[in-house]
Structure formats: C-alpha cells, structure tokens
Chain A
Amino acid sequence: DVKVTQSSRYLVKRTGEKVFLECVQDMDHENMFWYRQDPGLGLRLIYFSYDVKMKEKGDIPEGYSVSREKKERFSLILESASTNQTSMYLCASSFGGARGTDTQYFGPGTRLTVL
C-alpha cells in the first residue's frame, strides 16, 4: 500500500511566522505535489516536483516555497504566514516517468490556522 504521511494533522501559527509542512512517501514515487483545499474552490496546486531538487510552480505559488532534498520527502514552506493561508494542505505523490498513469496518492492533510 502506498503511504503518504504529513508531519502534522493540525497546526496553529501566528501571522508572520515561518511555517514548515513536511511530507514523506514510502513508494519511491518520482512526483510529489502540494495542494491547498478550500471550501468551494476545490484542490489548487501550489508546487510540484518531478525529481530531487527539481520544483515547478503550480497555480498559486505566491507566498510559498518548497524543498526536495531527498526523493521521499517534499517540504512546503510559508515564509511569512498570513491569515489568508489558513487552509487544508494536502501532499500527494505519483509514480511519474514511463510508468506514469498520473494517479495521485494523498496524505491525510494538515489543517493550518493562521491567527
């Protein structure tokens, strides 16, 4: 079974704090993704990575950065948290490459509240 884990289920931070969200997958997937999910807006892609040290901007990268130093780990960083970044953050991974069926496997999510 594919397993994607996220470092926290719930997180409360203050405006201006630097926030780290970590994601780890155990299936040797090449691709990893960060989404945020808000009521009525669905899933919105923030960043994705198709290889170690590689990253690509998604639809809403502003205010976020990412890091992928190891294949299994993909971190999302909020440099200076703001209240409009209060959301559910979801990490996903997929095989990629020649085996790529694009099927994504999601982590349990981190509910971030910025006060």
Chain B
Amino acid sequence: QKEVEQDPGPLSVPEGAIVSLNCTYSNSAFQYFMWYRQYSRKGPELLMYTYSSGNKEDGRFTAQVDKSSKYISLFIRDSQPSDSATYLCAMSRGGSYIPTFGRGTSLIVHP
C-alpha cells in the first residue's frame, strides 16, 4: 500500500460545478497537508496549506483534513475552465524535509 493514494482521474465536470478532489494516507504521523496545482508542462504551484485537522478556505478553494479517517479533500466551487489542471496532494510529518506526494488527479472543466 502506498503511503498516499490519489485517484489519477481524469475527472471531467461542467463549468460551474463543485469539484471534490481527495487523497487518503496511511501514516498517522502526517501533520502538514498541501495541495498543488500543476498546469500542463509547468511546475506545480502551491495552492493550499493546512496544519492538522479542520478546514481552510481561500476564495473558491476549501481544503479539508480529517485525520481520524486519514482523508483530505480539496473543494473547488464554481469551477472554471482555467481550473483544468492536475492537482497533487502532499503531506509531511513536520520536522522532516521531504513531503510525500500523491500521483495527482487530472481535472478537466469543460465550458
């Protein structure tokens, strides 16, 4: 079993839909949780960062962490074609230098 599991998709939704992207993990020591967005042929860019459990909102994006279930989510409201990208989750124990990344979920938002 991989430490971080992420469905590769692609996930195809119509413009305006609410998108839910998810990762599960097995290491209960993870405390820091990140979401990256990667456009085609570009490097990943940090989208959201949360510590421990709970929700964090930034504009149309909400990151949610459920440590009891070892499950994290990224919600995108009012999705736009410009949100079409691959979304990678990442998590770490803190105090270590190297996050563990999911393989990414490809999202396609069609007009």
Q: Which residues of A contact B (CB under 8 A)?
A: 4, 31, 33, 40-43, 45, 48, 50, 88, 90, 94, 96, 100-109, 111
Q: Which residue of B lies closest to A88 (CB)?
A: B41
Q: Which residues of B contact A (CB under 8 A)?
A: 8, 32, 34, 36, 41-46, 49, 51, 88, 90, 92, 94-99, 101-104
Picked from A42, A50, A103, the residue with its CB within 8 Å of the CB of B103 is A42
Contact B49 A101 (CB under 8 A): yes
Q: What is the total of A-B residue contacts with beta carbons within 8 Å?
A: 57
Q: Which residue of B lies closest to A105 (CB)?
A: B46
Cα A28 to Cα B28 in complex, Å, equals 31
Given contacts A41-B103, A42-B103, A43-B88, contact A109 B97 (CB under 8 A): no
Nearest 9 Cβ contacts at the A-B interface: A42-B103, A106-B43, A102-B92, A109-B43, A108-B43, A43-B101, A106-B44, A31-B97, A102-B99
Cα A51 to Cα B44 in complex, Å, equals 23
Cα A31 to Cα B101 in complex, Å, equals 17
What residues of chain B lie closer than 8 Å to A109, measured between beta carbons? 41-43
Given contacts A106-B44, A107-B43, contact A100 B101 (CB under 8 A): no
Contact A103 B34 (CB under 8 A): yes
